[in-house]
Amino acid sequence: MSSSACRIVVLISGRGSNMQTIVNTVRDRGLPATISAVIANKPDAGGLEWARQRGVPTAVVPHRDYDSREAFDAALADAIEQYQPHYVLLAGFMRVLTPAFVERFNGRLINIHPSLLPAFPGLHTHQQALAMGVQWHGCTVHFVTPVLDHGPIVAQGVVPVLADDTPEDLAARVLQVEHRIYADVTGWLAEGRVTLDAMQRVQVAGVSSRSFVLTPDGVTSSERSS
């Protein structure tokens, strides 16, 4: 892939704070990429208006208009393909995708999940973390596979779990790391630096460590040049 031709489609279901991070990152860093479209499965998704105001094309494929997951996913895939993306980034897209959809975008589909996968897949990750008494929690950017919340890990962000945390407290802390981690991963993808090796492990050219930690001074990166 030529890095100058990198086209990205972002999928959202709500306000799209991670989508906003992706859009701003491409523009603020002058990355060799274009946000070709923001697509939502809900007409009232708040992130749509934010994207429109910044000149990003938007589209809606309402999942309630389809009588099956398969039919919705087929329509969504057709809408995405109009933009011929190199990558499709899920940013708070609250739908479980069918294997056929995942296969159609194999190697191009990226998600951010609010836990340190493989721990706590699925929903209510912050409640799960507090219930298990873990001392560290976080988020994971990964390639999407047909297995829910499973796939080659691109990067992870870590936050401490405090004794008096509520799920809302923990979610807010994790979100700080999500924004930083998705920004950097967007840069790596745009620059054509991300590949999968023979063992289906992610490699990022020039980077040997891809972890981010929330400290009292903000999010720090342990990214090191390889």
User: In terms of Cα–Cα distance, which of 110, 108, 75, 89 is closest to 37?
Assistant: 89
CA distance 141 to 216: 23
Calpha distance 208→204 (Å, rounded): 7
Token pair in block for residue 53: 């105001």
Of the candidates 176, 177, 165, which has an alpha carbon nearest to the alpha carbon of residue 128? 165
Query: Where in the sequence numbering do the catalytic residues fall?
Result: 113
Closest to 137 in 3D by CA, of 174, 180, 109, 92: 174
- In one-letter notation, the amino acid at residue 62 is P
pLDDT at 221: 80
pLDDT at 163: 95
Question: Residue 222's pLDDT is what?
Answer: 64
Q: Domain residue spans in the chain?
A: 3-221
pLDDT at 4: 56
Residues in contact with 207: Cβ distance below 8 Å, sequence separation at least 6, in sequence order: 188, 193, 223, 224, 225, 226
* pTM of structure: 0.94
Q: What CATH code is assigned to 3-221?
A: 3.40.50.170
As to burial, measured by CB atoms within 10 angstroms (0-12 exposed, 13-18 middle, 19+ buried), residue 111 is buried
**For position 3, what pLDDT does the model report?**
43
Exposed, middle or buried, 140 (CB in 10 Å: 0-12/13-18/19+)? Answer: buried
pLDDT at 85: 98
Q: How does pLDDT run along the chain (226 residues), one tens digit per residue?
A: 444 579 999 999 999 999 999 999 999 999 999 999 999 999 999 999 999 999 999 999 999 999 999 999 999 999 999 999 999 999 999 999 999 999 999 999 999 999 999 999 999 999 999 999 999 999 999 999 999 999 999 999 999 999 999 999 999 999 999 999 999 999 999 999 999 999 999 999 999 889 999 987 888 886 655 5
Q: pLDDT value at position 2?
A: 44
Task: Return the pLDDT at 208.
Answer: 86
